[in-house]
Amino acid sequence: MTTELTGLTAQELVDGYRKGEFGPVDATRAVLARIEETEPALNAFVRIDAAGALAEAEASTRRWRRGEPQGLVDGVPVTVKDILLQRGAPTLRGSKSSRTDGTWTQDAPSVARLREHGAVFVGKTTTPEFGWKGVTDSPLSGVTRNPYDTSRTSGGSSGGSAAAVAVGAGPLSLGTDGGGSVRIPAAFCGIFGLKPTYGRVPLYPASAFGTLAHVGPMTRSAADAALMMDVISGPDPRDWSGLAPAPGSFLDGLSGGVRGLRVAFSPSLGGQVAVRPDVAARVRDAVSRLAGLGAYVEEVDPDFSDPVEAFHTLWFSGAARVTQQLSASQKELLDPGLKEICARGARYSALDYLAAVDARMELGRRMGAFHSTYEVLITPSLPITAFEAGAEVPRGSGLRRWTGWTPFTYPFNLTQQPAASVPVGRDRDGLPVGLQVVAARHADALVLRVAHALYEAGVAGTEPVALG
């Protein structure tokens, strides 16, 4: 029963609770046992609250017995990336510079919505320091590893969340994505990850990385992500840039398939990206399946060159801002790579920053025009599969920063578009491959519907994995 429960989706857990086949305490105990089994090898958690989770599960069990569930995910075990505030739990953001003596009285908006719907909070997951890079290691918590091969990285910066979901340590997790930080680890760990349209999921406190930073669900299916979006996308007055309520249920919007959908497939962004053959093949196979399901697929590239310099200006400036108030002694504790980009970010002028904003707006204009013809853009999530753990870039690649191997992800943080990574198979080494689905701003439901069609067709899928 324990193994079976950790393999269930959130929807399957709720269905089981409703039918009385098992209860939230059973599911929570199963997840805690799975964490105990996998955590020494993975290092996906910075905090585990077994006692608190069981108390929440017992309260949920009483509600279900009365036939009065509190919400859509009552009794479902969830995890939270340690960037987001959670009441009663320290939020250390992967940094030794963070204070541990706070009162921790507030939930981030997404955490608050999950709590209102009865979720069971199991623990907080690892992040690189302040979420600054595309892999998950930090001076505070060390290296988080990939469940498919523990010598490899889980990706980042939501790597702890991705690894936890992949091994069955809770079916739902909250991640953040400022340049790919939900989609990168989702691709490396073989799970589903959605970066919603900016503002669709409220954020508080505001990120130092500004409007690049999104909050999104990390799950084992597109349907579970839609369920989670129905919970976490409600407005919150603390986020001045949050959007109005979604027009309908994301879960209800999954049906309809892809027949007649205009899909652009860009395998390499017009030859700008060198994609490994195994990755290219798995993604192309999945796109062919979409065509077989009735989508109109055309191999065509969006009209933009690599916007990495604009992204760096905004990202490095944000990093400098997030560490600006630290003392000299605190700054000595920082990840060396973070210190480097902070120093670079502090040298940018206001005019440099505004020039990057101009480049961002032009990219958004181009993508807006592109989506007037094509409803969906498909690319690989990443050009590679997971590389060695503890490194920012693959050994021998000649790359300097994590943005060198994530050219498919950060452009769509600049444009604020919804984008998801869907697991579409493995490479010859057994490592997961991700396909990215991108749509116009506010078309989150469409991204989820396309991804769900791939799951329904058997192209996409995630099962809890034994450690590799």
- The whole domain housing 165 covers 2-456
In a domain, 362, yes or no: yes
pLDDT tens for each residue of 382-405: 999 999 999 999 999 999 999 999
In degrees rounded to 5, what are phi and psi of residue 29? -60, -40
pLDDT tens for each residue of 310-321: 999 999 999 999
Active-site residues: which are they?
81, 157, 181
In a domain, 461, yes or no: no
List 215's β-bridge partners, or say none.
Answer: 176
Element (H, E) at 48: strand 45-48
| Residue, of 102 and 165, whose pLDDT is higher | 165
244: DSSP letter:
P
| 274 has a pLDDT exceeding 80 | yes
| 290 has a pLDDT exceeding 70 | yes
pLDDT tens for each residue of 74-101: 999 999 999 999 999 999 999 999 988 8
The predicted structure's pLDDT at residue 1: 53
The tokens of 443 are what? Answer: 């078309």
In a domain, 463, yes or no: no
In a domain, 377, yes or no: yes
In a domain, 465, yes or no: no
The predicted structure's pLDDT at residue 99: 85
In degrees rounded to 5, what are phi and psi of residue 338? -65, -40
86: DSSP letter:
B
pLDDT tens for each residue of 338-371: 999 999 999 999 999 999 999 999 999 999 999 9
The predicted structure's pLDDT at residue 409: 98
| 165 has a pLDDT exceeding 60 | yes
**End-to-end C-alpha distance for the chain, whole angstroms:** 23
DSSP letters of 190-224? T-EEEEPSTTSS--SSPPTTGGG-EEEEEESSHHH
In a domain, 466, yes or no: no
- Looking at residues 185-210, what average pLDDT do you find? 97
User: By C-alpha distance, which of 305, 289, 401, 291 is closest to 344?
Assistant: 401
The predicted structure's pLDDT at residue 2: 54
Compute and round to an integer the Cα radius of gyration of the chain: 20
pLDDT, mean over the chain:
96
Q: Are 84 and 115 in contact (CB under 8 A)?
A: no
- Looking at residues 143-158, what average pLDDT do you find? 98
Helix (H) and strand (E) counts in the chain = 15, 15
The predicted structure's pLDDT at residue 468: 52
342 three-state secondary structure: helix
- Looking at residues 303-307, what average pLDDT do you find? 96
In degrees rounded to 5, what are phi and psi of residue 311? -60, -45
- Find out whether the peptide bond into 97 is cis, omega within 30 degrees of 0: no
| 174 has a pLDDT exceeding 90 | yes
| 464 has a pLDDT exceeding 70 | no
* C-alpha distances in Å from residue 207, one per residue of 83, 108, 194: 10, 12, 18
| 207 has a pLDDT exceeding 90 | yes
- E-only strand ranges, 82-227: 120-125, 137-138, 142-143, 145-146, 149-153, 172-177, 192-195, 214-219
Q: How many domains does the chain fold into?
A: 1
174 three-state secondary structure: strand
Burial of 241 (0-12, 13-18, 19+ CB in 10 A): exposed
In a domain, 467, yes or no: no
The enclosing domain of 338 has a CATH number of 3.90.1300.10
- Looking at residues 429-456, what average pLDDT do you find? 98
Dihedral of the alpha carbons of 162, 198, 123, 157, in degrees to the nearest 10: 40
d(CA 320, CA 301): 34
In a domain, 37, yes or no: yes
The tokens of 425 are what? Answer: 């198979």
